[in-house]
Structure 1
Amino acid sequence: MSKSKSQQIAEKTIYAAFKILKEAGGEMRGKDVVDKIRETTVFDEYESHRYEKTGYIRWESIMHFYTIDCMKAGFLRKNKGIWILTEEGEKAIKLGPEKLLTTATKLYREWEGKRKKETVEADIEDFNEEDSSQVQKSIISQYEDEAFNGIRNYIISKNAYEFQDLVAALLRAMGYYISEIAQRGPDGGIDIIAYTDPLGTRQPRIIVQVKHRPNDSVSSDEVQKLAGTLKRNTDVGIFVTSGNFSKPAIKEARESREHIELIDFNRFTSLWQEYYIKMDDEQKNLLPLHPIYFLGSND
């Protein structure tokens, strides 16, 4: 049976995505994966066609459609815009482009508990009713990636002191009282001091270190330095970064005698969304969000 054009595109792009993720150590922002495929793969006019309904590129939509198969097959995970290649997914690369895709689709069908058509229509806009749920999931996945990247780019555009203000606003929304915010210049490793009551008479005292480095990982040495600023036995340290934490840094915080809480970019944005409703207008305007609700599923 001859392959549809959609299947050919899916084989090429899914396999490329898996290889890119493997070379990156298993994790990468979905947007960066797509950009890398665009840079390294040749697409013809049909594959590069932009859909009028969604505004998306054909090959990107088809790839997102088939990532649902890969996720249900256990080859791939997505979390807040990050694509994660699983151990099973890394092994699946050895199958080659064609068998990787057919295996993922087969496993998805088994998971779904029903048969889908053996071939897919050439145009993702024309998938049959049986595929409509998966089309919806793939489109929502693209919207989620775009939304997350929009938030990330907005935060990246802020300077270090503006990001520090974002962190202070989040803490206030969470019910903490800000005693001090560091001004420009040396801060001794302390950017924000907060308490659980207005006068700071109740424990703990919360010492916050903020690093605005979106493309870097916080090292274990930096976590150690934060621990060194906790002078009271009841002090709690919070390290907030617009990037992420290295594995040694996470291990250092976990094993530290002091209580060190780590908040990376993903956790920061999750907390901002969770406490957004409790913010006043001034706080919301620091990072304004607009919620949109889609029909979900029971999968």
Structure 2
Amino acid sequence: IGDATVTLYDAGHVLGSAMVRIEIPETFSILYTGDLNLGGTRTLSGADTDIPPTDYVIIESTYGGDGDAHPARKKVERKFIFDVRETVSRGGKVVIPCFALGRAQEVLLTLLAHIDSGSLPPTPIFVDGMIVTINRIYSLYWSWLRPELQRKVRLSKRSPFDHELVEEVRDREEILEITEPYIVVTTSGMLQGGPVVDYLRGLAGDSRNLIYLTGYQVRGTRGRALLEGQRRLALDDGEETEVKARVEFAEFSAHSDQSGLIAFLSHIPGVREVFVVHGEPEKSRQLSVKLESRGTLSYVPRVGERVTLRA
């Protein structure tokens, strides 16, 4: 673009997510990370770290707070599968609200891996909402998935979500009438709309069932209310439902925590200043303070503020 060179790097967050690096010769270079995941997941490799010297970095801080240390993924999966197995073994149903892009695919592959290994009994998995469409996109662009998953798709010539136990929902009422245990992976991840509202209405009142939250819950959402212990929820039509189902949370995060963000920055030579954005104000501030304590100039810009970069 003119004299500027724009380079995209894998951000490791969701399928196709990219960091943008802009270099203007004899002026400066800047990297905008967007959402970033250094560690990788079942679906994607971690963010690229082979980035040339860069003057300025704009970095996210969703989990940039001092207390935002993600537990080890194996530990998260172990508890998740234990809870799901316990629920289906006692005749209950599991509702897993998910973000359609990224989180749902991670959850599905986790469930299928444990079913195939025998650590989770064969259980019908129903997929509802926008997840159905996103799964098809993942299947089309399988060459962007992590190498192990690419090999599996290449050998089987099947979508990674093509499994005899996985079924796309066509009639929600029919699913709600099933009496045997099952798992439903559905939108929306924060329970603010979409098919999950129908599943709350139909399944939340049974104490045998389990609602498993798997992503960040913003203040003011139904998901956040459940995490904070509220057990009466107003639904979209104004109707209230009492939640007797067990509520659990698994941190299937697609964002790096504070230590991961700092580790990512340590791979980039020549950084003159870091701008911390995209996070709750206190988390952004804490990440900025931590960077300053490590000798990196850092700043948290206000919303709408303009910052002049020095050549």
Q: Calculate the TM-score normalised by the size of structure 1.
A: 0.29
The structure where helix makes up a greater share of residues is 1
Bigger RCO (CA 8 Å, 6+ sep):
2
TM-score (norm 2): 0.29
Larger Rg: 1
